[in-house]
């Protein structure tokens, strides 16, 4: 009898029979008899077999199901490495956010505590003005914020057709003095905001920045009266706005 086993690594290769223990078939059976009929092949193990620079996946009948090349295995390895790097990146990002959270909380706390401090500063300025009639003039020499420069700054914010009314209000309220303080009420700045720290809506530098004060004044006139012209009309009737 002639027995033919599945050959995966080449005809007659001993490696082809490593998992079966069956020797290569000859022209005669172990009993010495011979037969013209071919013996049935012995099924091979299902699984990957490396051959010729590639990986073959064989079925239990020894037939090839799919061949995976070395290049594909290399790409799969690169993909796996990429997923590993991505995982490490996410871990580092999480750690970074954990470290940043206390800083952000501290910043929020600082901003929250800023408003009371501004209120205290406004009260201090009011007390300073009450104690000395010349305090505002001392704080603001004319050469630091000359009136023409302040009006030019205001023109960059207020439309030309509203500027006349805006100019009248600021002139009557503070005479265009950035550090002007009302000794009785504590109103402060070009527009005499009351309380003064309301101007913080436009920026934390409202105490000394005329641009911040002017932006707040224009916004206030629009929100409360509709326009600087309407605010000036009210002012003329009540001597305040």
pLDDT score for 206: 95
pLDDT score for 168: 97
36-45 contacts at long range (C-beta below 8 A, 24 or more positions apart): 37/1, 37/2, 38/2, 38/4, 39/1, 39/2, 39/3, 39/4, 41/4, 41/5, 41/6, 42/3, 42/5, 42/6, 43/6, 44/6, 44/8, 44/19, 44/20, 45/19
pLDDT score for 68: 60
Distances (CA, A) of 179 to 19, 31, 139, 172, 198: 97, 120, 7, 15, 15
DSSP conformation class of 195: S
Task: DSSP for 50-100, please give it.
Answer: EETTEEEEE-TTS-EEEEEEHHHHHHHHHHHHHHHHHHHHHHHHHHHHHHH
pLDDT score for 30: 47
pLDDT score for 24: 47
The pLDDT tens digits of the residues spanning 82-100 come to 777 877 877 777 777 677 7
Per-residue pLDDT of the chain (241 residues; tens, 9 = 90+): 444 444 444 444 444 434 444 444 444 444 444 445 555 554 455 555 555 555 555 555 555 555 566 777 777 777 777 777 877 877 777 777 677 777 777 766 666 666 666 666 666 655 655 544 444 444 555 567 889 999 999 999 999 999 999 999 999 999 999 999 998 899 999 999 999 999 999 999 999 999 999 999 999 999 999 999 999 999 999 999 9
pLDDT score for 99: 76
């Amino acid at each position: 009898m002639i027995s033919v086993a599945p050959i995966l690594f080449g005809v007659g290769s001993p490696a082809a029979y490593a998992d079966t223990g069956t020797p290569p078939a000859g022209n005669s059976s172990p009993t010495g008899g011979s037969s013209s009929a071919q013996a049935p092949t012995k099924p091979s193990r299902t699984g990957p077999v490396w051959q010729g620079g590639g990986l073959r996946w064989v079925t239990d009948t020894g037939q090839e199901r799919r061949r995976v090349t070395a290049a594909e295995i290399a790409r799969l390895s690169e993909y796996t490495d990429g997923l590993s790097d991505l995982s490490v990146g996410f871990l580092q990002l999480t750690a970074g956010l954990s470290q940043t959270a206390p800083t952000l909380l501290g910043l929020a706390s600082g901003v929250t505590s800023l408003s009371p401090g501004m209120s205290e500063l406004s009260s201090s300025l009011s007390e300073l003005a009450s104690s000395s009639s010349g305090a505002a003039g001392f704080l603001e020499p004319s050469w630091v914020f000359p009136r023409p420069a302040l009006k030019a700054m205001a023109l960059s914010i207020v439309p030309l057709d509203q500027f006349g009314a805006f100019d009248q209000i600021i002139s009557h309220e503070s005479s265009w003095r950035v550090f002007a303080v009302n000794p009785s009420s504590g109103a402060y700045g070009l527009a005499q905001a009351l309380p003064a720290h309301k101007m913080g809506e436009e920026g934390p530098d409202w105490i000394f920045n005329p641009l911040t004060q002017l932006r707040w004044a224009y916004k206030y006139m629009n929100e409360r009266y509709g326009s600087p012209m309407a605010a000036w009309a009210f002012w003329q009737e009540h001597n305040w706005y």
